[in-house]
Chain A
């Protein structure tokens, strides 16, 4: 267990509502990532962070924003949820980023109706 928690673990929401997912780590690692996983697409990177207030886009960032005001927390926000954002969301952390030894959280299952 790499000391990563995600909240909530399950959420059902309606189209058009804002949603925020939280990733919390106790390891004080510099790098944090948000992925989504969908059948037939594997894991796809949404956003990542390389330090407090330092974030960058991944391959599927449209419709998502992130914030990292503290080392231990990385928030993923869906400003206006759509049904296409129904997915399982995984957070990951990495101690150095260099060797890509990433440790994943348990995931959040989000359903947008």
Chain B
């Protein structure tokens, strides 16, 4: 599995866009980029995933660089409820595949 590198923590202002970077320079061609988050004491929550095209859903946007060595998760209008640990995971798409959660980025949204 490709290793991912994320900043340990970051702050952002409520109402502003939050841009969360992730480096995955050893990603291989069949590996997807997944983002999850975990709000304190709750189970992890799936956010979004992508292979090479940018993706957007109701929660966030995922921007993957052309060389696929890095990506950015964008929360367009951060709210206090977005305070959580955000995990970037790189994994092949395969049935029964298991997720490996690293340290993640602790995001604090401030009023």
Contacts and interface: CB of A to CB of B under 8 A. Distances in A.
Interface of A: 31, 33, 42-43, 45, 48, 50, 56, 58-59, 90, 92, 96-107
B100 to A, nearest CB: 8
Given A92-B43, A106-B42, 11 more contacts: A42-B102, A45-B98, A98-B95, A98-B97, A100-B93, A100-B99, A101-B46, A102-B46, A103-B46, A104-B43, A107-B41
Given A48-B98, A97-B97, A100-B91, A42 B103 contact: yes
17 contacts: A31-B95, A42-B101, A42-B102, A43-B44, A43-B99, A43-B101, A45-B99, A45-B100, A48-B96, A90-B44, A97-B94, A97-B95, A99-B32, A99-B93, A100-B49, A101-B46, A104-B45
B40 to A, nearest CB: 11
Contacts of B97: 97-98, 100
Interface residues of B, number: 23
Contacts of A105: 43
A98 B94 CA distance: 4
Nearest to B94: A98
A31 B97 CA distance: 9
B95 A96 contact: yes
Given A106-B43, A107-B43, A101 B49 contact: yes
